[in-house]
Amino acid sequence: MDVTLTKVHGSENAFFILDQTKLAHRLSEAELKQVTQQVTDRKTGLAGGADGVLYVDDSDHPQASGKMRVINADGSEASMCGNGIRTVARYLSEQKQQTDFKIETMYADLNVKQAQDLAPQVKTFQAEISPVSFKAEDLGMHIADLPALHHVKIPALSKQLAFTAVAVPNPHLISFVDHATLLGPELGRIAGYLNDGANPYFPDGVNVSFVEILGPDHIFVRTFERGVGFTNACGTGMSAASLIYVLEQGGHFEQTITVRNPGGMVKTLVHETPAATYWMELIGNATFVGTATLSLAALLAGDFSQTQFVKSAEQPAYQNFVNRLN
C-alpha cells in the first residue's frame, strides 16, 4: 500500500501532513513517534526533513471537520501548533470543500478559515489560538513556587532579561530584547538549558521566544522550540508574543500586529473576552511544497530511497513574497 505525505510550511516552519484516514489502519503510538523521527531528520529524512509531523484524522466531535495531532521532530507530542494548523486547515478545506470550520486539537476545537492571500499564489489561512493560561500548573513550570510569571527576572537564567510565561495552550517563555540580544547566543543558551530534560524549572521543556519591537504593532520573534530547537518561526510563539506585547508593551487589543520572523511574516490579532481571558488569531501562509509517495513498509522502515517527491509551484511564489518584505 502507498502512502502520500504532503510537505508544507507556515513561515518556513516545515511539516509533513500524514492523513491517517487514507491508511488501511491507523499508526500505533510507537509508529507515530518512530515515523516522525525518521521523516523529519534534516540529514537522512524525507525531502530534506522537517520540524514535525501533523497527523490528520477524523474527529468524533460533531462540530469539528477533522482532528490534528502534532508530533515534534524528537517524537514528543505538542498540544498545539499555530503554523501547522493553518496548513492542516488548508488540507481539510480542499478535502472537504469548506472555508470556515473547526479542527479538533488536544485541548480545544479551534476555528480556522481561509483568508485573503498574503501575496499572489501565497495561500493564506487564519486560526484561533486558545485557550490561554498563565498558571504554573498549565505551563509545567516550577519557579520558586510562583503561581505565574509576569515580566520577572530569573537570575539562574539571565541577570538582565525579564520573562513572562504563558500557555496557549503549549508552554511559552517570552522576553523582549534589543536587536543584538535577539540575534546573539543567549536564546540558544537559555532555551537549550530549559529543554535539557534535567533542569528544575521546566522539566518537560518550554518554547522560548525573544521579541524585538520594530515599531508600533510591528515585532520580530525568534523562537527555540521544545522538541525541535531553533525553527524559522513558531506560530503559537508569535501569538503568545503578540499577547504579551499588548499586555506589557503598549500594544492594543483588536489591532492587527505584523509579526516578522526568520522565515517570513504573519499577522496576529489579540482579543480579550468579557471574562478577562484572552485569545488570538494567527493569519499566515499555508504553503504546500510538494508530495512524497512511498510504500507504507518503506515509511515504517525509514527507507526513502524509492520515494517519489513531486514539487508544487508554490515555493517560488512564497520566496518572492519574502524577498519583497526585505
Ligand X SMILES: N[C@@H](CCC[C@H](N)C(=O)O)C(=O)O
190 contributes a contact to ligand X by CB under 6 A: no
83 is in an annotated binding site: yes
**If we measure between CA atoms, which residue out of 167, 222, 234 comes closest to residue 10?**
234
72 contributes a contact to ligand X by CB under 6 A: yes
Q: Which of residues 52-71 bind ligand X (CB under 6 A)?
A: 70
Contact 191, 161 (CB under 8 A): no
Could you tell me the smallest distance in angstroms from the CB atom of residue 237 to ligand X? Answer: 6
**Residue with smaller CB distance to ligand X, 175 or 195:** 195
Burial 312-323 (b: 16+ CB within 10 A, else e): bebbebbeebbe
Contact 265, 227 (CB under 8 A): no
| Alpha-carbon dihedral sign for residues 20, 24, 26, 31 | negative
40 contributes a contact to ligand X by CB under 6 A: no
**Residue with smaller CB distance to ligand X, 71 or 247:** 71
170 contributes a contact to ligand X by CB under 6 A: yes
207 is in an annotated binding site: yes
To the query of whether residue 81 is one of the catalytic residues in this protein, the response is: yes
**If we measure between CA atoms, which residue out of 220, 228, 230, 236 comes closest to residue 83?**
236
**If we measure between CA atoms, which residue out of 106, 102, 81, 84 comes closest to residue 93?**
102
CA-to-CA distance for 265 and 242, rounded, in angstroms?
Answer: 13
CA-to-CA distance for 218 and 239, rounded, in angstroms?
Answer: 13
CA-to-CA distance for 23 and 25, rounded, in angstroms?
Answer: 5
**Residue with smaller CB distance to ligand X, 82 or 251:** 82
Cell triple for 254: 483588536
Interface pick for ligand X out of 45, 75, 235, 284 (rule CB under 6 A):
235
To the query of whether residue 243 is one of the catalytic residues in this protein, the response is: no
199 is in an annotated binding site: no
Catalytic residue among 53, 54, 71, 81: 81
104 is in an annotated binding site: no
209 contributes a contact to ligand X by CB under 6 A: no
Interface pick for ligand X out of 6, 13, 181, 242 (rule CB under 6 A):
13
Binding residues for substrate: 13, 72, 82-83, 170, 207, 225-226, 235-236
Binding residues: 13, 72, 82-83, 170, 207, 225-226, 235-236
| Catalytic residue annotation | 81, 234
Site residues (vs ligand X, CB under 6 A): 13, 70, 72, 78, 81-84, 170, 207, 225-228, 231, 234-236
